[in-house]
Amino acid sequence: MGNNKKIHFEISERKLLLRIFDVIFVLFGLYLIGFIFNFDYFQFSVTNYYWTIVLAIYINVFGLIFEMYNLQVASNHFQVLRSSVLTTSSTVLFYLLTPVFSPQLPKNRLQLLIFYIVFFIALYSWRMIYVKFLASNRFAQKVVLICEGGQVKELVFGLENVDPHYKVIGYVNSDEESISTLEHHSLESIKSEDLTSFVKKNGIFEIVVASQKTEGITADLYHQLLILLESGKSIREYTHVYESKTQRIPVQYISRDFYRFFPFSRSNQNKLYLSIVRLTEVVLSLTGLSIGLVLLPIIFIGNVFWNKGGLFYTQERMGKDGVVFKIIKFRTMIENAENSGAVFAKSNDVRVTKFGKFLRKTRIDEFPQFINILKGDMAVIGPRPERPEFVNEIAQMMPFYETRHIIKPGLTGWAQVNYSYGEKLEDSLIKLQYDLYYIKHRSIYLDLSIAFKTVSTVLFYRGQ
């Protein structure tokens, strides 16, 4: 029974599956309603093939904005319903408003209602199929971990928290002197000589090696790993698994010889990429400042009544290559908020005014930073610029922290769209992992992903 082959889906494969079948189900629903009933608003035709392409693009774009491809959201009935309604409404609205790329509006307005209802039913039906079957434990990946006993708890939780279908069911202690710190968990301790039989008996999908002590991989254990590798079992190093699943760099498991393990993205030196990014930043900055000028009278009035102080606020931040610059923001805190010295900002910080909280949640407080972007101090996307006094403090505890200064800091970034506000040094470590992942994998695709996630953050009022 343990040798039966099971289907497994990696995180990227599940996201791709969701994207493809979102489009397939919606298009099939529209085809079916057109075939059975007198529905002619959306028709499949060789001459109008771009109607289908545009609709598929809209589905994927708004699905990304409204978190349809967030696997935690995709596995929750209520959140699936909410995201499906928002994605359907936005896609249909934009599709109707772009008649150059979509069908002309029909004379019979009932056709539009049918289009909306069929779209939603098809999309929501597929997502319920996913929740019922593909998001279940039927597709769990059973894993064995090889590590020091003292690391077990941290390593297991680090993987299972991000991917509930990735189940570590046993571990081999590669350091007999260390004792497992894992309690109240159905994790079996495996003797190194029993690894091969355990893997075959339990239908293990993958063996993950996290041992930092090479002497812990004995000749017998190494021989068993070779046998398992030759039998088709996947054997991966923990940092690679962690990075692929969390989309973070696990700096706490990497030695100080960091640059051997960290191939920086070529985009960081690609002149074409950097030129395109800079041109886009200038256009976005001018657009953002124009919107800011329109909002300025409202912000000024709100500041007079509820902030009762200066409208703008400047603060020293550390930029590319460690160069300090002054960041510009709309003020959100009470005046003289740091008379006793610099401290980390917190969620529900008592120093933030009620109007300031609104400005932060909507990200309106950051509009003046487009001036910093135009000046070249900042980019639109990159690690958030930190205060020099905090950089020095954090860098003493995290040897790789200053690596984030090899590129310009950003208005938004991979850490900002994936993690909440950093209140303490432990949060800074997690955000550093995201920042380094961005530096390592920097690309147009990742930039677009951050841009869409930023829109989602603003729409769902999750600003910091």
CATH of residue 199: 3.40.50.1380
Tokens standing for residue 3: 């040798």
Confidence of residue 1 (pLDDT cuts 50, 70, 90): very low
The angle formed by the CA atoms of residues 411, 414 and 415, to the nearest 5 degrees, is 90
DSSP 76-96: -HHHHHHHHHHHHHHHHHHHH
Does the pLDDT of residue 142 top 80, yes or no?
Answer: yes
Last residue of some domain: 134, 160, 182? 134
DSSP 34-61: HHHSS--SS---STTHHHHHHHHHHHHH
Whole-number pLDDT of residue 137: 66
Confidence of residue 397 (pLDDT cuts 50, 70, 90): confident
Confidence of residue 377 (pLDDT cuts 50, 70, 90): very high
Whole-number pLDDT of residue 420: 72
Residue 53 in domain = yes
Residue 232 in domain = yes
Report the b/e string of 167-196 with b at 16+ CB within 10 A: bbbbbbbbbeebebebeeeebeebebeebb
Read off the DSSP letter of residue 306: I
Does the pLDDT of residue 260 top 60, yes or no?
Answer: no
Q: What percent of the chain has pLDDT over 70?
A: 88
Whole-number pLDDT of residue 88: 96
Residue 6 in domain = no
Does the pLDDT of residue 2 top 60, yes or no?
Answer: no
- Mean pLDDT throughout 405-412? 94
- pLDDT tens digits, residue range 320-339? 999 999 999 999 988 766 66
- Mean pLDDT throughout 94-123? 90
Whole-number pLDDT of residue 285: 96
Q: Do 316 and 394 fall into the same domain?
A: yes
Last residue of some domain: 65, 100, 134? 134
Residue 259 in domain = no
Mean pLDDT score across all residues of the chain = 86
Distance of alpha carbon 323 from the chain centroid: 28
Cα separation, 211 vs 192, in Å, equals: 13
- Mean pLDDT throughout 229-234? 89
Q: Do 291 and 342 fall into the same domain?
A: yes
Residue 254 in domain = no
Q: Do 201 and 314 fall into the same domain?
A: no
Q: Do 153 and 119 fall into the same domain?
A: no
Q: Which of 19-23, 284-288, 309-313, 419-423 has the lowest mean pLDDT?
A: 419-423
Q: What percent of the chain has pLDDT over 90?
A: 42
Confidence of residue 107 (pLDDT cuts 50, 70, 90): confident
- pLDDT tens digits, residue range 292-302? 999 999 999 99
Confidence of residue 48 (pLDDT cuts 50, 70, 90): confident
* Distances in whole angstroms, Cα of residue 178 to Cα of each of 95, 150, 158, 188, 198: 60, 6, 19, 16, 22
More confident residue, 53 or 258: 53
Residue 312 in domain = yes
Q: Report the number of distinct structural domains present in the chain.
A: 3
Whole-number pLDDT of residue 184: 43
Residue 5 in domain = no
Which residues are CB-neighbours of 214 under 8 A, at least 6 positions away?
none
Confidence of residue 414 (pLDDT cuts 50, 70, 90): very high
Tokens standing for residue 169: 């069911």
Does the pLDDT of residue 3 top 80, yes or no?
Answer: no
Residue 398 in domain = yes
Q: Do 170 and 106 fall into the same domain?
A: no
- pLDDT tens digits, residue range 167-193? 889 999 887 665 555 554 568 888 888
- Mean pLDDT throughout 242-271? 76
Q: Do 322 and 434 fall into the same domain?
A: yes
Q: Do 106 and 152 fall into the same domain?
A: no
Cα separation, 342 vs 410, in Å, equals: 22
Q: Do 321 and 285 fall into the same domain?
A: yes
Assess contact for 292 and 370: CB atoms under 8 A: yes
pTM for this structure? 0.84
Structural domain span for residue 365: 266-459
More confident residue, 70 or 459: 70
Q: Do 445 and 309 fall into the same domain?
A: yes
Q: Do 25 and 41 fall into the same domain?
A: yes
Q: Do 294 and 382 fall into the same domain?
A: yes
> Given the DSSP bridges, would you call strands 312-318 and 324-330 parallel, antiparallel or unpaired?
antiparallel
Distance of alpha carbon 226 from the chain centroid: 35
Whole-number pLDDT of residue 217: 80
Q: Do 35 and 83 fall into the same domain?
A: yes
Which residue, 260, 431, 256, is CA-closest to 344? 431
Assess contact for 175 and 204: CB atoms under 8 A: no
Confidence of residue 101 (pLDDT cuts 50, 70, 90): confident
- Mean pLDDT throughout 133-149? 81
Report the b/e string of 238-257 with b at 16+ CB within 10 A: bbebbbebbbbbbbebbeee
Last residue of some domain: 134, 163, 182? 134
Cα separation, 281 vs 371, in Å, equals: 11
